[in-house]
Structure 1
Amino acid sequence: MRKVDPELHAAKREAILDAAADLFGRNGYDATRTADICRAAGMSTGNMFHYFPTKRAVLLAVAERDGQRTAAALAGIAEATDIRAALLDTLEAVCHIAADRTAAGLQLEISAEAQRDPELAELFRTGDRGLRAAFETALAAGIGSGAFDSALDPARTATWLAALVDGVFARVAADPEFDPVRETPTLHHLAAALLPRPGTVGI
């Protein structure tokens, strides 16, 4: 039996996921055929089945990888020297991601398919819990360091920050003229209202 090169195997697997993510984001999950993914990844259908048995398995892997990348991007916010700036920078990064309409389309496709697929739904919920947990941890750390008002509720505020993130992608899908990068200053103002400095709650 021929020995599998782990690096080559990982590279081909990533190529499949990259191709699928692009196609799902541009054309939608249902409209994308396995043959389309294989063509975009530069391999035969038979070869792809060595990595993923079905198109659904590819979608699950795309969603799992997306969640892992999000978790990695959020890691360390709570340890930032300026937590307020770190949170605003994170929201700004979201705007830049959402400006890529293929990336935005992928997020909405995962969300839509999660309504029909329990396993995908669990991956989707796991990613959402991770996002809110990272925000909550950062907010709690900010309260502890005196960056935010102590009356702030970290869990509820984290949920609203997550809602802002979700809303950026939904708005891109609903409004072709919406430019999330151009609207970043407004997002900063909205987020700043959710992140009151000490002694400003209720003023």
Structure 2
Amino acid sequence: MRTVDPAKHQARRRHILNAATGLFAAKGYERTTTAEICKTAGISAGNLFHYFPNKRAIFLAVFDEEGHDKAERLAQARDADDPLQALMDLVDYLAAPAVEPVVPALVMEAMVQAYRDPELEALLSRGNADEHAAIAALLTRAAAGGRIDPGLNPDSTATWITALIASVFTSAATSPGFDPADQLPTLRLILTRFLQAKPHNS
């Protein structure tokens, strides 16, 4: 009986996802065909369907696999010794993919498709909820330690932080003059000044 090498299987699966990601970002989900994915990946249709049953499964996998990596990073942030530094590092981590050429367009396409696909919508919502929870937990710890303004509501503040991160992606996708790499330091500065603890009145 033929055995499957898990490492090779995962590498080929990742290769297919990388090929599909560029197409989904450039052409959109609806206009991308499995034939184009096969051609870009340099594989046959039979080989493609050995890894994914259809195009929708490929699109879902693009975001599902990214979610696994993110979950580990969120867990590390929540356990960090310095909650404020961990928060700022987490913001950098979550916003950094906007610098990659295909990612903002891919994120916008996912938002469009989520309206039509409940499974994708649930997948993205879980990811957003996990990010929000991690940020809120770090804000709570930072406030308790006197590192940020204790008057800030952690949940509301986490909502605004995630909204600002999301705006980096939407601006990169819709505004030709917007350069995420140039704007990320400004995002960090805005958050640092917003979060800083109020001075005590003498």
The TM-score, its normalising length taken from structure 2, stands at 0.90
1:29-108 equivalences in 2 (<5 Å): 29-108=29-108
Structure 2 counterpart of 1:168, one-letter code: V
Q: Is the 8 A contact 1:132 1:162 kept in 2?
A: yes
Question: Could you tell me which residue of structure 1 aligns to residue 15 of structure 2?
Answer: 15
Deviation of the 1:200 alpha carbon: 4.7
The one-character-per-residue Cα deviations of 1:41-96 (angstroms, maximum 9, x if unpaired) are 22101111111111001111111112222223333223334332332233334443
Secondary structure at the aligned position of 2:148 is classed as coil
Question: Could you tell me which residue of structure 1 aligns to residue 28 of structure 2?
Answer: 28
Unaligned ranges ≥5, structure 1? none
The one-character-per-residue Cα deviations of 1:8-60 (angstroms, maximum 9, x if unpaired) are 22221111112112221222212211111112222101111111111001111
Question: Could you tell me which residue of structure 2 aligns to residue 146 of structure 1?
Answer: 146
Deviates more, 1:68-77 or 1:100-109: 68-77
Q: Which runs of 4+ in 1 moved over 4 A?
A: none
1:148-167 equivalences in 2 (<5 Å): 148-167=148-167
The TM-score, its normalising length taken from structure 1, stands at 0.89
Secondary structure at the aligned position of 2:30 is classed as coil
The one-character-per-residue Cα deviations of 1:151-179 (angstroms, maximum 9, x if unpaired) are 22111111111101111100011111101
Q: State the percentage of identical aligned residues.
A: 41
Task: Work out the CA distance in 1 between the residues paired with 2:90 and 2:27.
Answer: 28
Structure 2 counterpart of 1:38, one-letter code: C
Distance of aligned partners of 1:194 and 1:77 in 2 relative to their CA distance in 1, 3 Å threshold? farther
Q: Is the 8 A contact 1:78 1:138 kept in 2?
A: yes
Task: Work out the CA distance in 1 between the residues paired with 2:4 and 2:71.
Answer: 30
Task: Work out the CA distance in 2 between the residues paired with 1:110 and 1:200.
Answer: 43
Deviation of the 1:135 alpha carbon: 0.5
Unaligned ranges ≥5, structure 2? none
The one-character-per-residue Cα deviations of 1:124-171 (angstroms, maximum 9, x if unpaired) are 101110110110111111122221222221111111111011111000
Q: Is the 8 A contact 1:78 1:137 kept in 2?
A: yes
Task: Work out the CA distance in 2 between the residues paired with 1:14 and 1:101.
Answer: 18
Task: Work out the CA distance in 1 between the residues paired with 2:57 and 2:156.
Answer: 34
Task: Work out the CA distance in 2 between the residues paired with 1:75 and 1:181.
Answer: 26
Task: Work out the CA distance in 1 between the residues paired with 2:178 and 2:6.
Answer: 43
Q: Is the 8 A contact 1:136 1:158 kept in 2?
A: yes
Question: Could you tell me which residue of structure 2 aligns to residue 127 of structure 1?
Answer: 127
Task: Work out the CA distance in 2 between the residues paired with 1:165 and 1:72.
Answer: 19
Task: Work out the CA distance in 2 between the residues paired with 1:83 and 1:26.
Answer: 38
Task: Work out the CA distance in 1 between the residues paired with 2:23 and 2:53.
Answer: 18
